[in-house]
């Protein structure tokens, strides 16, 4: 039996929690109460949640319990939604009806969203109970979740360090057991970076697979939605809710995740399209993770060879142009511009000064880059590298600042270009995957001597999401 008052409820896998809710062993109100209590206890330390919507969560949980009782009474338990009663959280870039979407920016007026965004609507249709909104960087632009709206999102493995970004609050919440799993969005590494930092499985699906992943102002079609979870099976369950049935594997992701994949040809690479502009070092802990991942993959029957990938050195400028185009057109009142962080303000000004011709040239280049890179990758079944080149960074490290956990002061320390450079050196293998539209997964495989998680990233071919989840499942420690 599941004891709803037990701390063990937070340790249950999402699959086990889903089963307990579906069977009636646990009510939606009991699950909601437990996880809200966990948030109340730990969020002040973690900064994972910006907004907690307890009242609405209990209203939705009560409705879920009534639906469960009705369907059981009618002998139709199979009609329960896939994620009936499952507590979840949405990052604060995703509209949830009746809840302000801050976009991590003090420059915006924080009015309640009039309706659910596509991602929230899709998962609510599957039966989830939203507990609130999680911390993000301003407009989702950075690899760390620190802004002027609320305290920074901290890493549950070391509170002095960042949980990554832009899905940093969601990753911290999952890793700390404040929610069983969570959807993230990823336009340049925003699922995989926090997954790597927090020791989670983080899957970025391929372009177009998850219909609720699209983002307004994303001309380069970089952004997709995908799962952050503690296990491959939990990530597979969330994929079953995110992906339309006609596009999912036969039987779904969860039913197939435990099946071992055929032996693969794996290319191992440390090459990065950022290296020409920002030559970066790879920390020993990142190499330890890569070596551990390679060893585990070889033990499970796969063959690894070195992959030398050549990237066009015009990539950094083109990606940055596409990545920041949206912030240039964001509707911000002139008198509130000063409330933007230096990085956002700098890239917004540059975006507004660029001509439409320059943006279109960048988009055209990225399509050619996609073709050239995918062609090179096709010599192998998957490409392997560390998720991150460095251990999770200290709070304030990217901005050159640092603070006690209160919202950032008006005199924000740091330089925008140095901040951006540090991010590119921290996560040099992320954004090109979005440009190529390919699926990729971060898998936790190593813990440093200081107790910090480190992961590997595996990039697959189009349509290989199930394969990537199967590799993650095969590498999990029993």
> Hey, which residues are catalytic here?
91, 166, 190
Q: How far apart (Å, rounded) are the C-alpha atoms in residues 101 and 89?
A: 13
Burial of 401-431, coded b for 16+ CB within 10 Å and e otherwise, reads bebeeeebeeebebebeebbbbbbbbbbbbb
Backbone angles phi, psi at 91, to 5 degrees: -65, 155
Dihedral sign for Cα atoms in the order 167, 371, 264, 289: negative
Q: How far is C-alpha 376 from the geometric centre of its chain's CA atoms?
A: 26
Q: How far apart (Å, rounded) are the C-alpha atoms in residues 199 and 475?
A: 13
Q: How far apart (Å, rounded) are the C-alpha atoms in residues 169 and 93?
A: 11
Q: Exposure of 256 by Cβ count < 10 A (0-12 exposed, 13-18 middle, 19+ buried)?
A: middle
What order of strands is seen across the sheet that includes strand 129-134?
Answer: 49-52, 129-134, 87-91
Which one, of 149, 151, 201, 193, lies nearest residue 174 by Cα? 201
Q: How far apart (Å, rounded) are the C-alpha atoms in residues 131 and 123?
A: 13
């Amino acid at each position: 039996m599941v004891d709803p008052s037990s701390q063990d409820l937070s340790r249950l896998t999402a699959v086990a929690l889903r089963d307990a809710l579906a069977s009636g062993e646990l009510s939606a109100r009991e699950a909601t109460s437990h996880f809200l209590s966990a948030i109340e206890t730990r969020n002040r330390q973690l900064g994972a949640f910006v907004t907690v919507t307890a009242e609405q969560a209990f209203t939705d949980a009560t409705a879920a319990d009534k639906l469960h009782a009705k369907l059981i009474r009618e002998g139709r338990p199979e009609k329960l939604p896939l994620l009936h009663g499952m507590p979840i959280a949405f990052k604060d870039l995703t509209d949830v009806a009746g809840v302000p979407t801050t976009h991590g920016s003090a420059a915006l007026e924080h009015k309640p969203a009039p309706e659910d965004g596509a991602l929230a609507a899709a998962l609510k249709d599957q039966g989830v109970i939203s507990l609130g909104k999680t911390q993000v960087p301003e407009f989702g632009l950075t690899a760390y979740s620190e802004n002027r709206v609320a305290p920074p999102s901290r890493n549950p493995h070391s509170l002095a360090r960042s949980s990554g970004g832009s899905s940093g609050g969601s990753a911290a919440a999952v890793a700390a057991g404040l929610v069983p799993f969570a959807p993230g969005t990823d336009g340049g590494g925003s699922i995989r970076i926090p997954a790597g930092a927090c020791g989670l499985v983080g899957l970025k699906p391929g372009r177009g697979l998850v219909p609720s992943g699209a983002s307004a102002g994303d001309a380069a079609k970089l952004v997709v939605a995908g799962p952050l979870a503690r296990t491959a099976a939990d990530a597979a369950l969330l994929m079953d809710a995110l992906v339309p049935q006609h596009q999912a594997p036969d039987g779904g992701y969860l039913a197939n995740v435990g099946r071992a994949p055929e032996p693969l040809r794996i290319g191992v690479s440390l090459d990065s399209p950022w290296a020409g502009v920002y030559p970066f070092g790879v920390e020993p802990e990142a190499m330890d993770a890569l070596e551990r991942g390679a060893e585990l993959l070889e033990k499970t029957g796969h063959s690894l060879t070195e992959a030398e990938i050549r990237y066009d050195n015009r990539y950094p400028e083109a990606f940055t142009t596409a990545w920041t185009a949206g912030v240039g057109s964001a509707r911000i009142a002139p008198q509130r511009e000063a409330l933007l962080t230096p990085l956002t303000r700098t890239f917004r000004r540059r975006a507004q000064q660029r001509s439409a011709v320059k943006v279109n040239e960048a988009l055209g280049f990225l399509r050619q880059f996609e073709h050239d890179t995918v062609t090179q990758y096709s010599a192998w079944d998957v490409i392997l590298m560390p998720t991150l080149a460095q251990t999770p960074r200290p709070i304030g490290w990217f901005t050159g600042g640092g603070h006690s956990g209160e919202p950032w002061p008006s005199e924000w320390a740091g330089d925008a270009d140095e901040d951006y450079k540090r991010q590119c050196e921290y996560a040099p293998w992320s954004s090109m995957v979005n440009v190529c539209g390919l699926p990729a997964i971060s898998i936790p495989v190593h813990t440093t001597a200081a107790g910090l998680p480190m992961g590997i990233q595996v990039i697959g071919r189009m349509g290989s999401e199930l394969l990537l989840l199967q590799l993650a499942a095969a590498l999990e420690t029993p």
